[in-house]
Every structure is written in C-alpha cells, then in structure tokens.
Amino acid sequence: MNKQRKAVALISGGLDSMLAAKTVMDQGIHVEGINFFTGFCVEGHTHAIRDKDKAKPKRNNSLWVAEQLGIKLHIVDVIEEYKNVLINPKHGYGAHMNPCLDCKIFMVNKARQWIAENDFDFIITGEVIGQRPMSQRNATMPIVARESGADDLLLRPLCAKNLPATLPEREGWVDREKLHNITGRSRKPQMAMAEQFGFDDYAQPAGGCCFLTDKNYSAKLVDLWQAQGNKKYELDDVMLLKVGRHIRPQPNFKLIIAREEGEGRFLQGYKNEFISMNCSSHSGPLVLIDGSPSAEDLYLAAQITARFGQGRDAEQVDINVMNQDGSERMLQVKPLTKEEIPEEWYI
Amino acid sequence: MEKITLNARRLLCPLPVIRTQDKVKQLKAGDWLEVICTDPGVMQDIPAWCRINGHKVLETKALDHEYIIILEVGA
C-alpha cells in the first residue's frame, strides 16, 4: 500500500497560500498549515486597538483560511529568532525595513525543521514567480530553496511548471501536470482559480502581510534604533510602534500620544514601564514618555501633551505626571501652538 | 480532570492563540482551560483555533474590556 504523503503549507492568510494548499490537497496529500508570528504580522486585531476600527472584521486570516480548507494550523512564535533576520539581513532590505528574501528563507527553513520533527514529507508555499519584487523573482526562487535547506522538498504549486521538478513531483507523490504555471503580478489567474474552488471570500492584503513593508512603521523603527544607538528591540517596542502618534522633540526622549480611547486603554497597560502624562484640568489623551527626559524635557513634554487635549487654546492647563512607581505630580503649562511643534518632530 | 487558567491579558492576537496552543499541548483530553484576554479578537480566533484542532469551547464571556474563553481539550 502506498504511504500517505504529508505536506506542510506555509499559510499567510492570503489567497496564494490558500490556493497552493488546496491544489495539493486535491491530489490526495494530507496537508497541515503552519504560520509564523514574527511580531510584525499585520493583524486586524492590532488595528482593533483603535475604537474607530471596531467595525472591521477581527478575524485572523490564517486561522480563517485553515478553517476554509479544513486543515490544522500550527502557529509558531518566532519573535526571538526573527530578530537576527531583521537586524542582519544577508540579502538586505526592500523598499523599507522589509527583509523579504531573508524572511522567506528563514520561514522555509523553519518549515523544513518542522517537517523533520513531525515526519512530514515536503513543504508547500504560495510563491509565484514575479509576484513580489524582492523574494518572488526568477532569480530568487532557487536562493530560497537552497539557503533554507529545503532544496527540492519545497514545492510551489502555483508556478511549479515554470520551475525544475521537485522531489514530490519526481517521485509521483503529486502529478506535475495538475500543478500551475502562473507568473507575474496579475491576480487574475488566482482569482479565476479561487472561483473554480468556490472560494468567494479571501484576504487581499495590499503590500503583503507585514508591517515592515509600511513606510511610516519603518520610519518609527529606524527612529527607535537611532535613539537607542543599536538595532535591538523587544516585542513591546514593536507593539508600541503600531500605536499612537509618535513625537520626538529631542534625541533622548519621545512622546507616544493616544489618538483615541482604544489606544489610550492599550497604553494604560504600559504605565508601570514609562513616565506617563495626562491633562487633569481638561480632557485629553494619555501620553507615554519613552527615553530619559530631564526635568526641562518633561516640561516640554507636558506642553506638547496639553496641545493634544481640549485645553489646547487655554492660557494654562494642569498636566498630571505619573512615574513608573505610581508617584504623581502636577505641572502647570501653557500648551504649545501647532506652529511651535515642528513637522520634523513627528516620526 | 484539571482546570487551568491562562493569563493572556495585554497580548494581541495571535499571541493569545499561541499561548493557548502551547498550554493545551501540556494538558490532557478532557482538561479545561480558561483563557483571560484583553484583545477582543480572541472571541473569533480562539474558537476558530479550537474548531480546526478538535477542542470544544464551553463558554465565552465579554466583561469590562476583558474576554474569557473556557475550552475543553479534545482527544
């Protein structure tokens, strides 16, 4: 009797990985999904911190895809290991701080380790030649296979016919003729295939599924590293870069200003780790002070805090300053005007 | 049968799901796990994760900015 072959599919939550997994499942292969959480993954829930985004669906697309396909999904926390990928990318960054090629090599390598530990036979990705400018090009597809160590255990069902046959094809575990030959950035072939499979709802993340492809997010990360004098980060740093308005008046400190109630609630959770401020004479946002501010710096921070509250036009407002140990004091300040906050302070 | 509580407050999805997944690996079929979270996304994600992995959601509760899910570990 033929052995039941098993494959693990990298499931991002987008359409391509969904179609790739389905293509192989339809050939009788047992498929399970794997999803890697780097800390930079774009999730509806992160947006859901903000009250204004509450109407948006809060589903995790990778879980949703797995459920549509009827497969198990293994979500793996790679936050610590991913630091080396982001800090020292061998193949460099893309348009922003996105190390896409190194990231893909890293994830396929992790999948290769996973199949060895779990007695699976090969790996599936939804890669398409020419789909992404950095990691999914004709020249980089073999690099991913080689440097990840997956070699010919890596099957890309959506463009397999444009690539040399992999082990699962050569061994007849999958029929190469039933795989695809999609190339380029057009989404039409994938949309047609989705229709054939009866998938009428799927995520279409513009620019990918990673915050590091975002210009504004990347600018905040670079600012963090410059301020620290090194490229280290912790998960809390990564999370806080997604939240609030960031203003750096001096190299030694910045303000993180909640833009609305949901962000304020989220920032409340960090009050034991940062000096925080809020306006007590008028309504206004919660503000965290990140860095090592002097007494003068705190006065300036209080003036900026006042600018973003309802007392912005008052002659004087009361700003409550809370230390990490819970001790409090009051500063009475005149709010800065809009013109007194230079554009370059905004990160 | 064990009843365990997992504190996943302040974590944003998918971390509460990952912590739930890791905790469930240490439990036996029939054990109960109560997960306490602050990200409302768990109300979708943990039940979805349970459905695809064969665990049973016994109860979900939304309190004042806290979300509690009680699940029974499947076989």
pLDDT digits (tens, 9 = 90+) for B39-75: 888 999 999 999 999 999 999 999 988 999 999 999 8
> How many whole angstroms separate alpha carbon A77 and alpha carbon A187?
30
Q: Cβ of A58 and B44 within 8 Å?
A: yes
Judging contacts by C-beta atoms under 8 Å, the chain B residues touching residue A37 are 14-15, 18
What pLDDT is stored for residue A54 in this prediction? 62
Q: What is the mean pLDDT of residues B11-28?
A: 94
> Annotated active-site positions of B, please?
13
Q: What is the mean pLDDT of residues A44-58?
A: 60
Asked if residue A207 has pLDDT above 70, the reply is no
Asked if residue A149 has pLDDT above 90, the reply is yes
Work out the pLDDT band at A225, boundaries 50, 70, 90.
very high
A272 touches chain B (CB under 8 A): no
Q: What is the mean pLDDT of residues A30-58?
A: 75
What pLDDT is stored for residue A137 in this prediction? 81
A41 touches chain B (CB under 8 A): yes
A64 touches chain B (CB under 8 A): yes
Judging contacts by C-beta atoms under 8 Å, the chain A residues touching residue B45 are 45, 58-60, 63
> How many whole angstroms separate alpha carbon A323 and alpha carbon A333?
18
Q: Nearest CA to CA, how far is A58 from chain B (Å)?
A: 5
Q: How many CA atoms lie within 13 A of B25 on its CB side?
A: 7
What pLDDT is stored for residue A134 in this prediction? 66
What pLDDT is stored for residue A185 in this prediction? 82
Work out the pLDDT band at A5, boundaries 50, 70, 90.
very high
Q: Nearest residue on chain A to B39, judged by CA atoms?
A: A45
Candidates B10, B13, B43, B63: best to mutate against A (most CBs of A within 10 A) is B13
A239 touches chain B (CB under 8 A): yes
Work out the pLDDT band at A212, boundaries 50, 70, 90.
very high
Q: Classify B51 as helix, strand or coil.
A: helix
A271-280, A316-325, B6-15: which range is least confident on average? B6-15
Write down the domain spans for chain B.
3-72
What pLDDT is stored for residue A187 in this prediction? 87
Asked if residue A45 has pLDDT above 60, the reply is no
In chain A, the percentage of residues whose pLDDT exceeds 70 is 93
What pLDDT is stored for residue A46 in this prediction? 58
Q: What is the mean pLDDT of residues A98-105?
A: 95
> How many whole angstroms separate alpha carbon A74 and alpha carbon A35?
6
- The highest-level CATH class for domain B3-72 is alpha beta
Q: Give the CA dihedral A260, A266, A271, A277, nearest 10 degrees.
A: 0
Asked if residue A133 has pLDDT above 60, the reply is yes
Asked if residue A76 has pLDDT above 90, the reply is yes
- Token representation of residue A167: 């082990």
Task: Quote the mean pLDDT of chain A.
Answer: 92
Q: Classify B66 as helix, strand or coil.
A: coil
Q: Cβ of B65 and A265 within 8 Å?
A: yes
Q: What is the mean pLDDT of residues B6-10?
A: 93
A96-100, A177-181, A199-203: which range is least confident on average? A199-203
Q: Cβ of A76 and B38 within 8 Å?
A: no
Asked if residue A208 has pLDDT above 70, the reply is no
Within chain A, which residue ranges are assigned CATH 3.40.50.620?
Answer: 6-211
A37-51, A201-215, A282-296, B60-74: which range is least confident on average? A37-51
Helix (H) or strand (E) holding B21: helix B15-25
What pLDDT is stored for residue A266 in this prediction? 87
Work out the pLDDT band at A2, boundaries 50, 70, 90.
confident
Helix (H) or strand (E) holding B19: helix B15-25
Nearest to A72 among B10, B12, B53 (CB): B53
Asked if residue A57 has pLDDT above 60, the reply is no
Asked if residue A146 has pLDDT above 70, the reply is yes
Nearest to A60 among B10, B45, B53 (CB): B45
The yes/no answer on whether domain A6-211 falls in CATH 3.40.50.1110 is no
What pLDDT is stored for residue A53 in this prediction? 61
Asked if residue A13 has pLDDT above 60, the reply is yes
pLDDT 10s digits, A249-296: 999 999 999 998 889 988 998 999 999 999 999 999 999 999 999 999
